Structure 1
Amino acid sequence: MKKSILTAIGIASLSCAVATFGDVTNDNVMARNKVKIYPVKVTSIKTNSDGEFVIKGTTKAPKGTKVFIQDKKSYVMDPTQNQFSSMKDASWVKVKNNGKFKGYAEASDVIEGHESKNWDVYAGDKGKIKIFAATNIPKKTDDTDIPKSVRTALKKSNIKYTTVTADEKVADKGDSSSSSSASSSSASVDTSESYQPISYDDLARHPKKNLNKPIQISGEVLQVEHDDGDLLILMFMDDDPDETVMVNVNKKDKPSGSILKHDKITIQGNAGGKQSYETVLGENRDIPYVDCNEKVIDNGQ
């Protein structure tokens, strides 16, 4: 009888040990396989004659980490697809040992064209994309996909959208008589590479490094003040309320019509460090400042 009891206790103890060991092992596997999202810093966005954006950047992700581009969901844009590829073999874009990466994105894949014009993309059209690196992605993931586990981790991250703007190099050779705001703006957009797109983070964190640097920013107008014919504009870069910038526009660079609150505008000018302004709550806040050098592109609301 005692033997039976001891045997039963022994089996029960063994079962507990196995169960405990199994639980620990599963936790370790889950920890090892958990997707980790790394932010990137975009250092350059250019275009080529093949209709692509050439995007360079840096990240703290380990060497060999794969870099993705995700579209902002819309009628024709699919956020489950990876729009970033390498030139060498049209495969994954990977982080190099110095933390740098370079890849290519088709303009038609990251900018929603005009439905009435067979979805053609015109100069001045914009697209919003998230660029990020990710580790521990499923092994059999195709280089054109963003797996569910990565999309879930991305939603929990603080990765913000980057805006890309089409120029004449990447615009479709469609009907240029479109009455859309994009086609009307193409004639006035300065596509000179002297004005480089810049992220808000870079502009806000490095005012001295970027001082007098020729830059291009886009966003939504928050407030407009008139001063002897000049304009002082508060705008949200990339339509993000957390990314407020002050822009000074002199008389010669104003558009023909009035700039109104909620208008979508593009500014080309020189970074001017930071300026302080008073919020509606009476608080002083230092924000990036830009001196506009070219005609303001106003796409209305």
Structure 2
Amino acid sequence: MISMNNIKITANGGLSVLSAFANGHGAAFSIDLPMSIKIKKSGYDLFPNESVQKTVEFIKRRFDINDNFTIQIKSRIPQANGLKSSSAMTLSVVFGILKIENIKLNEIDILRFAAKASIYNKTSITGALDDLCSVYYGGFCHTDNKNMRIIKKYHIDYVPIVIAYSMRGRQTVNIDPEGLKNLSRKADAIENLIKHGMIFDAMEMNGNLYSSIFGSDYDLISYFLNKGASYSSQSGKGPAVYAIFNNNMLRKRAIDDFNFNYNIIKTHPSNRGITYECKNIR
């Protein structure tokens, strides 16, 4: 019998288009910000943080797994900034252990299980099926997170993007989901833009909506817009701020003149989904 003892999973982060807190529907698209996770069977469990530990605990209990694992993470995705680092981590750990243990689930069941794991490890309130879907498939995903189904997914074209992010981040536990349900009418308007293919207009409106609740650096957003960005706001609840440009020259000028107390990353949409590489197969 073939035994897979060591696996490396690579997945990307993303940007929020529609946050699912208000009406249960969410949307996101993948950007070129990779996270690599190495998982191998070992004599004892060794994890980089509590979220990974809780994720593995959830998987072991669900599938009655007795093996132990060592997990390492190398990531370019800033944490706690609304850039899908938690979804990339949770899905990669689920995906990798299922591969190692030769547990076969279809794609939607993998995503639904990862959504439950995200709630269990407390990195998400809604399960973040939209984020998980964009991580898994790449490109744009629109989902019904309450009923755990994919509404639509497709690849999106290259556009130059700048991400400005804070090292302080913003924690998911600060959100009051009951209060956000009052925003359902505005969320419906954002979703209508998505249905008409206007995903950048939708994500800007969504970011502005949640900026009004959680706060954002409006001077930073104004800077990008004044520098020629076609769209700029924060990614969902943030606090990371994105700017989308029509060409690389405009983006370069915005970066060259940048003078804010933020880190910045150049990126673009990614249509590459989750991938894996197996080692030590015998």
Structure with more helix by fraction: 2
Asked if TM exceeds 0.5, the reply is: no
| TM-score normalised by structure 1 residue count | 0.27
Structure with more strand by fraction: 1
| TM-score normalised by structure 2 residue count | 0.28
Rg (Cα) greater in structure? 1
